[in-house]
Chains A and B, each alone.
Chain A
Amino acid sequence: MKKIFLFIFCLFIFNNSAKALVEVDITRGNLDPLPIAVSPLYVESGSVDIKQGDKIIKNVGEEISKIIEINFKRSGLFNPLKKDSFVQKPDIAHVKPRFEDWRLIKAQALVTGKVTVSEEKLRVEFRLWDVVAAKEMVALAFSTTPNNWRRVAHIISDKVYQRLTGEEGYFDTRIIYVSETGPKTQRYKKLAIMDQDGANVKYLTLGNELVLTPRFSPKNQLVTYLSYFRNLPRVYLLDIETGVQEVVGDFPGMTFAPRFSPDGEKIIMSFAKDGNSDIYTMNLKTRVVEKITDHTSIDTSPSYSPDGKYIAFNSDRSGLQQIYVMRSDGSNVKRITFGKGLYGTPVWSPRGDLIAFTKVRKGKFYIGVMRTDGSGERLLTENYYQEAPSWSPNGRVLIFYRETKADSDGKGFSAKLWSIDLTGYNERLIETETDGSDPSWSSLLSK
């Protein structure tokens, strides 16, 4: 007892004395991707194999973990550790991971899970563990149909990503683009959709007419694009589920560069009348058409801010292509690019704070970002030819396309999809079956 009192007494003394708390500033760390172990998901006994078309998926738990690893690797933020160094089996790891074992292989986070597959249902349970603190960080369960097993992997990836970075993920998304084949002078173009990791490619048009610049609606059910059907270039709407296509409005001339408004109710596009291109909107329900810009210059490539209040667009009213911002009713037009060179294809970030763009200067093409007032211009990558960036739904990654040089016979020509992180790192080629261009990112499918 005496000792306790003495101890408390001493504490008081020491607390009252003027003490300099030792403060040390830690301003550096390493920017290496976070080492994370993704254990194959344990497949509950009694589960059936998944039949997908003519393929049979035997160990869906293993396949799911592979997709998660690829997602993490491609994001550049995580370093998935090699499976052959894993000590614990999937079933035990999911229930009671031995953190010392995982710490031995230098993992800082661990993903484990369990799947149960029946003919109609796929049930998934997964956990994210903080290996260093030896505690559970996330525990979730959900179910879906067996043929959606890939989406399970993407949803798990998004949840883990969000918990470890503080940002929303972007893995459960799709990309729409134009698939290209054929000689450069007569390209054969089709609309294509694929999962963000390149799987599940589906072609939406046959290639009989030229199709260009597709975009998803905010709910991802509709697609808008430019088609040269019957040699009349017009903006069309396509329902992905039903495959039904319809022309947008009844314009007596070319309409092009279409996008959806953030609430999905309007299509905004350019309409070329007597050689002059202005920006118009059409309400999909009421069919009311509004003229937004009124200038003898070319006004195109419109992009709404995420709150729908502003529109960034491309205009050459100053003589050359520059980027302007106006209110969504067309008032208060302000030029925001004043640098040397041409600026085009402005795209407003889903976060609302940045605008991505294409810049052309001295024969080189750049993809860059700037603040919405035009300041803070940052060029992320340079190439012979590249353009048309599109944001991932979390505003972190940009997807765009590049073309290569060709000789006069057209040899050497190719068009490919590329992605790059907002920081300028992690520039990546996106593999597609055919050449591709005009990519556009969907919003998260699971919202």
Chain B
Amino acid sequence: MTRSIALSLVFHSVMIILTAISLPFMMRTPVDLPPILSVDLIQITDTTNIPFAAKAAKTLEKLKKEEEKRVVSEQAPPTQKKKEKPDRIPLPEDLNKEKKEIVKKKQNPEEIKDEIRQASEFEKEELFDPDQIAALIDKSKEETAETLKKDKKITQSNKKTSFASALTLSQEDALKAQIFGCWSLPLGLPYHKNLLVRIKLRLKPDGTVLRSEILDHARMNQPGQGFYKVLAESALRAIRICQPLRVPPTGYEKWKDLQLNFDANEMLKG
């Protein structure tokens, strides 16, 4: 009995000492974490019209306007400097040339890049002329401002040419978004099977369906693949409900044969 009391006292006092030492550490104020900002990654194209990107479009317009303002303001200083220095009288002509070149840049994406390269070489040669440098700096600002604006256009045009389909990214997004809304996924589908059904369509210019064909038709009646029929029917239903499809206003020849690959795997695997 006494032994246990003594042991108990010893252990209790050890515990109390330990807590006395450690607890003050626990009472330190917590570190202030910066609030978590949610960032939405948006694909930037001029004509993306995915419904939920409405806000993004607005903010993009705002950004463009701001940059245009910036460009304008950066163009201003060089003109002022030219007035001050009589040596620089020829510069207004250069300026005009620059302006013309800038105008040209807007029309020809590739040329911008040349200009940038030229500018850097120019800088190297004229390193010791402070006035020239000042002009250069202003010029580069303009150029970067312009290139920023054009980078977006560059990407768009690049994708236009490299994209295998006749639809731009935004047009594809629009069509996808439309069909996503129409497709009622049959909820009873099995998990680990091939849930891909490909439907080939011949469209009319207004987006209505002239003909539809289910590829892999043989699967429809295969034993053990009963779900394929159900899946294919749901896809056909989606297409029918969605008519007229959201097709581009031009380029009918390019997209009149459309193949929709319905894949339920992503949504069902979860």
Contacting B188 at CB < 8 Å: which of A14, A25, A28, A396? A396
Using a CB–CB cutoff of 8 Å, the interface residues on chain A facing chain B are 14, 19-35, 76-77, 108, 130, 132-133, 161, 163-167, 396, 423
Q: Are A133 and B263 in contact, with the CB atoms below 8 A?
A: no
**Interface-lining segment among B2-10, B83-91, B148-156, B177-185:** B177-185
* Contact for A31 among B187, B200, B259, CB less than 8 A: B187
A24 touching B267, Cβ below 8 Å: no
* Also in contact, A22 and B167, with CB within 8 A (given A29-B267, A165-B186): yes
Q: Is B176 in contact with chain A by the CB < 8 A criterion? A: yes
Asked if A27 contacts B263 (CB within 8 A), the reply is yes
B residues 208-260 in Cβ contact with A at 8 Å: 226-231, 233-238, 240-241, 253-255, 257-260
Q: Which secondary structure dominates chain B's binding surface?
A: helix
List, in ascending order, chain A residues with CB within 8 A of B167's CB: 22, 24
Give the complex CA separation of A30 and B264 in angstroms. Answer: 10
Assess whether A132 is in contact with B187, with CB atoms less than 8 Å apart.
Answer: no
Give 1 or 0 for each of B161-173: 1 = CB within 8 Å of chain A CB: 0001111000010
Other-chain contact of B262, A19, A26, A35, A396 (Cβ < 8 Å): A26
For the complex, would chain A's binding face be called helix, strand, loop or mixed by DSSP majority? loop
Which partner residue on chain A sits nearest B225 by CB separation? A166
Return 9 A-B CB contacts under 8 Å, by A number.
A19-B257, A22-B167, A22-B258, A29-B262, A29-B264, A30-B183, A34-B187, A164-B230, A166-B231
Interface pair B180/A26, CB less than 8 Å apart: yes
Q: With a CB–CB cut-off of 8 A, which chain A residues contact B241? A: 108, 132
Provided the pairs A22-B254, A22-B259, A166-B226 are in contact, do residues A133 and B236 lie with their beta carbons within 8 angstroms? yes
Interface, chain B (partner A; CB < 8 A): 164-167, 172, 175-176, 179-189, 200, 226-231, 233-238, 240-241, 253-255, 257-267, 270
Q: When chains A and B are docked, how far (Å) is the Cα of A311 from the Cα of B184?
A: 39
Given known pairs A23-B165, A132-B240, the reply for A166 and B259 (CB within 8 Å) is no
Out of B179, B185, B257, B265, name the residue touching A22 (CB < 8 Å).
B257
Interface residue from B164, B185, B229, B270 paired with A166 (Cβ < 8 Å): B229
Report if A21-B184 is in contact (Cβ < 8 Å); known contacts: A26-B176, A29-B267, A31-B267. Answer: no
Whether B187 contacts A27 by the Cβ 8 Å rule is: no
Q: Of A20, A166, A167, which contacts B165 at CB under 8 A?
A: A20
C-alpha spacing A27/B257, complex, angstroms: 20
Complex CA–CA separation, A34 to B188 (angstroms):
11
Query: Do A26 and B237 have beta carbons less than 8 Å apart?
Result: no
Q: Is there contact, CB below 8 Å, between B188 and A21?
A: no
Q: Residues of A contacting B229 with CB < 8 Å?
A: 166
Expressed in whole angstroms, the Cα–Cα distance for A29 and B175 within the complex equals 13
Give CA–CA (A331, B93) in the complex, Å. 97
Q: How far is the CA of A440 from the CA of B241 in the complex (A)?
A: 41
Interface residue from B183, B237, B259 paired with A24 (Cβ < 8 Å): B259
Which residue on chain B has the smallest CB distance to residue A163? B230
Distance in angstroms between the alpha carbons of A164 and B267 in the assembled complex: 18
* Interchain CB contact (< 8 A) of B166 among A22, A77, A108, A165: A22
Sorted nearest first, the 3 A-B pairs with minimum C-beta distance are: A165-B188, A29-B183, A166-B227
- Residues of chain A with a CB closer than 8 A to B165's CB: 20, 22-24
Closest CB-CB distance, B139 to chain A, in whole Å? 42
